[in-house]
Amino acid sequence: MLSSSRTTHPGAADTAERIPVAVHAPDPILREGVVSQLRRYPEIGLREDSGPGTVALLVDDVLDEAGLTRLRRLVRSEGARAVLVVRSLREAELLDVIECGVGAIVWRHEATATRLVQAVLAAARGDGDLPADLLGRLITQVGTLHRSAAGRAGGAPASGLTPREVDVLRLVAEGFDTGEIASKLSYSERTVKNVMHGLTTRLHLRNRAHAVAHALREGYI
- pLDDT tens per residue across span 143-152: 554 444 444 4
Confidence band for 156, pLDDT divided at 50, 70 and 90: very low
How high does pLDDT run on average in the chain? 80
59 alpha carbon, distance to own chain's centre: 15
> Whole-prediction pTM value?
0.61
CATH: 1.10.1270.20, 1.10.10.10, 3.50.50.60, 3.40.50.720. Which one for 160-220? 1.10.10.10
Q: Please name the CATH architecture into which domain 19-133 falls.
A: 3-Layer(aba) Sandwich (3.40)
HSE, side-chain direction, 13 A CA sphere, residue 111? 24
- Burial of 194-217, coded b for 16+ CB within 10 Å and e otherwise, reads ebbeebbeeeebbbbbbbbbbbbb
Confidence band for 39, pLDDT divided at 50, 70 and 90: very high
Q: Please choose, from the candidates 103, 26, 105, the residue with its C-alpha nearest in 3D space to the C-alpha of residue 61.
A: 26
- The Cα–Cα gap between 128 and 115 comes to 14
What are residue 25's phi and psi, to 5 degrees? -145, 155
Stretch(es) of the chain classified as CATH 1.10.10.10: 160-220
